[in-house]
Structure 1
Amino acid sequence: MYQIKKRGDNLSPNRFREDFAPLRKEDPVCYLDNACTTLRPDSVVEAVTSYYTETPGCGGRSPHRWGSAVTLMMAQTRQAVANFISAPREELVFTLNSTAAINQVAHGIRWQPGDVVITSDKEHNSNLVPWLQLENEGVVDLKQVSSNEDNTFDLQAFEAACALAGDNLRLVAIPFTSNLDGVTNPVTEITKIAHDFGAEVLIDSAQAIPHNKVNVKDLGCDYLSFSLHKMLGPSGVGALFAKQESMANLETMSGGGTTIISASKENLEFLPGPARLEGGSSNYAGIAGARAAVDYLTNVDFGWLSDHEIRLNQIITDGVKDLDEVTILGPPKASDRGGMTAMLIDGIDVHDLAIILDEAGSIMVRSGFHCVNHWFESKGVTGGSLRTSAYLYNTEEEARQFVDVFTEAVSALG
């Protein structure tokens, strides 16, 4: 893997494209579905393969050379991922994905009668369904804060909701960046307000960490979740950051092998730290790939990346905003939506449109409700939206390619 130049040098996404096998093909697709999952560089694929072909053992168990190699690899990966978000490794738990991380918090907290959980009105189902389940079971009272008209976060309404909950406010669970429209929330301010009311804060950062340098110390949050498959890593690996005191108060959702000191009818004693929450055999191959993904991203200049994504999004925004059939979700400025453009298409089935983009232009985008069904239902939108999401290997030529094929398809279907 090359060492990327620093910001200010003349960078090109083509420098990245060389590291991704799907993009080295003679006629590569135009992949603009990165908010769903990113492509993986060769180094990640090689790390996953290496586990299966070189050291296919169990970590934390067998003392032979393969087992020892996997144990060491897991420790090194935990340190690397923790460093990536400026967290102590003792506060980093490996999970299946961000959904599993959020569920560990939701079902691990020892709730008290009357406890209130506050979320936004744009939550991914991963940060909504667990709280709905608890509310339906009579465990918590869920409150949702409505967004501003342009889908940005309403801090004034949030603070009012916290004040109304008062001493019953137990947890605030908020996305760092919305997968609905790309809007980034003021999570540092949200965290401070929540803490002022005595509540803990969980940040769903699945859509933020791939695009921004995240420092949990600066954020001040108590929990933070993310998935590696959205940041060049393998599927089936996620992470939960939890402050030491918060982690210690969580009941494990995966009690079993590697989690205990003693287990008998007379005594059940769990290990301290992340091990208590990581029951059973881990996704060792995926964790090896996670290390490679984090190593890759560590060499990326996130200032350049942000500018690059906004530049591509500006091309797409300018190309579609004046079409009569199109309504862009979120703020009108591309810079307020990062690398994402989500669109309502009047009179056209977004799934049909996505298929046409793929078949006619080899352009891959997302269509549907994006796991934010409740937002669409609340707005009376029955067909969902079409979403583009750019990343470091996408080019300006691809952004213009999307605009051309999209415009032609909308004209033909409208």
Structure 2
Amino acid sequence: MSGADPLLDSLRSAVAASPDDPTLRLHLAGLLLDAGEQQEAVSHVAAVLGRDPGNADAAALMARGLTPQQPPRPPRPEPAPVVGKPSFDWEAAEAEVSDVVAPRFAPDDEPERVPAHAPTGGGRFVVERPDLRLADVGGMDAVKKRLEAAFLAPLRNEELRALYGKSLRGGLLLYGPPGCGKTFFARALAGELGANFLAVGIHDVLDQWAGNSERNMHDVFLAARAAAPCILFFDELDGIAQKRSAVVGGVLRQVITQLLAELDGVSADNEGVFVLAASNMPWDVDPALRRPGRFDRTVLVVPPDGDARRAILEYHLRDRPVENVALKPLVARTEGFSGADLAHLCEAATEHALLDSVATGTVRRITQADLLAAAGELRPSTGPWFTTARQVALYANGDGSYDELAAYMKRRKLL
């Protein structure tokens, strides 16, 4: 324990005099962390959590204390003012190195350059330029091949498209259990095409005032057409376009009618606008949207396979203090887990190690035992979805729409 800092010494004395004051202890702990005194800081945070386990400020400081810190850099000395010398001639310097270094400021008449990954659009619909690729998705080779065949290949090769008479009309519906990466795949498809990406949710379309919802739907397509080439992505399509036979009231009916009109290009040409959607319950989507020229292609996005689970676990553990973690047993124990389930598993293991550090007063890292214990306590959140999907695959697949789902469930012995 260092006593060189008068402020820290004063706060230590104050805490010794008032050991039950959590605010004082946490203030001291924060300053200790800033000074690199992690061990002492964690002991003070542990004392607070021992009395108040739900203290959010203490939990945040404990997480910070468990993360290895880099030594603080010494402050850079301010340059001493130069008296009697002329100011630096920036124009002459720029002219001298103009063939190597770009100028500091662009001319006023030069067109604005927007980074490829930056959001664009001044309206309320934000158009992005994702830099994701399908290669960034670990594993899931079957889903990637299906996306390549159903969506990417016809778009990439104009000559083959013409040879086979393949039309670009129609959309693609991604469906499957929640938390399995449907939105991530949609962004990756935009990245593969080098296209803009416009994601639309229920809150972007539905409005309490008559006529506004239909106008919002029209505005969504206007924004996508203005940003072409653009992937227009509808998240939770079943919430926006439920079966009209099950809809009570006229608002959703009008929204579906407007969506159908926009997809068919009644009021404008959709050239360069590629429409994707995601749904956890595609069987609740209005059948009119599944007809040719609309969302007539479907891809099942299933829970991550072994390679994907390994990549997801590595991603969520990359910035956490782990020690001797073997991922192979974890991958084997998490069959059927969604990506969201795996993220929750890492959170639960972190919490277990943190609370144990509080109880023992000794800071320790996250171990294999913590992760395996968390895996044993959790159950895949995909179970209820597959229970419903089983009924659909058995009794509502007369037209073969869910053959891919039935085949997957048979391989998994869920059907």
TM over 0.5: no
More helix by share: 2
Between structure 1 and structure 2, the one with the greater Rg is 2
Higher relative contact order (CA 8 A, sep 6+): 1
More strand by share: 1
TM-score after normalising by structure 1:
0.23
